[in-house]
Amino acid sequence: MAKPQQLPSGKWRIRIYDNELKKQVSYVSSQIGRAGKAEAELFASEYILGKRRKEREGKTVGECIDEYINSKEHILSPRTVSEYRKCKKNDLAEICDIPLCKLTASDIQKQVNMLSMKKSAKTVRNAHGLLRAVLHVFAPEMYINTTLPKVQKKIKHLPKAEDVLKAVSGTEIELPCLLAMWLGMRMSEIRGAKRSNIKDGVLTISEVIVKVDGADVVKKQTKTTESTRQLRVPPFIQQLIDNLPPEQDYLTTLNGAGIYKRFQRLLNKNGVEHMTFHDLRHMNASIMLALGIPDKYAMERGGWSSPSVMKSVYQHTFSAERQQVDDKVDRYFEKMIGDVLDTKLDTTSK
């Protein structure tokens, strides 16, 4: 916002550029000193707010949401933009036809209450977050203090890692599963990983493949800053990669749904307790916790965010301490794989 300037008379003048009039609007305070400065600043605030009210007169909440999303289209990822559009359609539809100038905090609370009856707390909070961001742009003077549902803590009951490994061992999704449960990679990271991203036994994760409106989209950036990371490739996983067709650069050519469906079929076939593919990342975290891996290195390997991690710059990814962490995790999985293969051999010989 423009800053007031004190005139020789002691009064204060402020100039505001009006885009509609294509010229500056000037105002001189009637008072001098600090009171005059405050008067000029108040005029500027009220003038700008008045212009904003006029601009949004007749605009509905839905139109403002669309305008907000369009303004972010080339800044946010295609997937985020797609999720915003779905949120507007599925979670905020009931208030989209209300003129923004008539929207009240009570309307927002009613929408949240209604949405909470049929959607998860996380979905409700995401929808409210989008609406709040829109209001911050189009109605910054509007004060809302919505009561939101609390996110309930979920306790994951995961099957034994050995049972999961037995189920996927020797199958076409063994490599994707090991990348998730051993190295802590996300589905999008696994689908975006390439042989050409591996140099001197180190896989650099800097590209992902996500599904946006039913189509695969290659993103040249990961989910978060911390997700862009390097992982040492254990010999067993490297052998699986070497066994891929020579012309195949991507570590898997299956889409997310294909991997997930095969994973579920293998779990059912082997009588393993239900889990999602993403739960393999939770399993990875649980194993590192059980092995006593310090949080710093667990976060670094898995690309998880935390206040402390966000302040760190990992130029020292493969420090001596990090190598010890990788050795410890690799030994755990190598022993488990050896036991699984020995069990298979014993079963076959009988």
pLDDT tens, residue by residue, 263-290:
999 999 999 999 999 999 888 888 888 8
In which element (H, E) is residue 5 found? Answer: strand 5-6
Tokens of 156: 């994951």
Task: State mean pLDDT over 142-155.
Answer: 83
Lowest mean per-residue pLDDT among 185-199, 209-223, 247-261, 292-306? 292-306
Chain centre to alpha carbon of residue 243: 33
**Amino acid type, 283:** M
**Of 55, 46, 56, the residue nearest 25 (C-alpha):** 46
Phi then psi dihedrals of residue 66, to 5 deg:
-60, -45
- Give pLDDT, residue 103: 92
What are the tokens at 347?
């079963």
The average pLDDT across 19-35 equals 84
Domains of the chain (ranges; CATH) run: 5-56 (no CATH), 61-138 (1.10.150.130), 161-349 (1.10.443.10)
> CA–CA separation, 43 vs 1, rounded Å?
12
Band of residue 56 on the pLDDT scale cut at 50, 70, 90? low
**What are residue 232's DSSP bridge partners?**
202
Question: Which amino acid is located at 39 in the chain?
Answer: E
Confidence (pLDDT) at 154:
67
Which range among 11-20, 78-87, 92-101, 148-157 shows the weakest confidence by mean pLDDT?
148-157
**Mean pLDDT, rounded, for 2-7:** 87
Q: Is 119 helix (H, G, I), strand (E, B) or coil?
A: coil
Q: What percent of the chain has pLDDT over 70?
A: 89
> Does the model's pTM come out above 0.85?
no
Residue 304's pLDDT is: 67
Q: Are 164 and 181 in contact (CB under 8 A)?
A: yes
* pLDDT digits 0-9 by tens, 288-338: 888 888 877 888 888 866 534 323 332 333 456 678 888 999 999 999 998
* Average pLDDT of the chain to the nearest whole number: 86
Q: Are residues 321 and 297 in contact, defined by beta-carbon separation less than 8 angstroms?
A: yes
Residue 232's φ and ψ, nearest 5 degrees, are: -75, 130
Q: Which two tokens stand for residue 173?
A: 């999704």
Q: What is the pLDDT of residue 54?
A: 65
- Name the one residue in this structure whose structure tokens are 């690799």: 330
3-state SS assignment for residue 323: helix
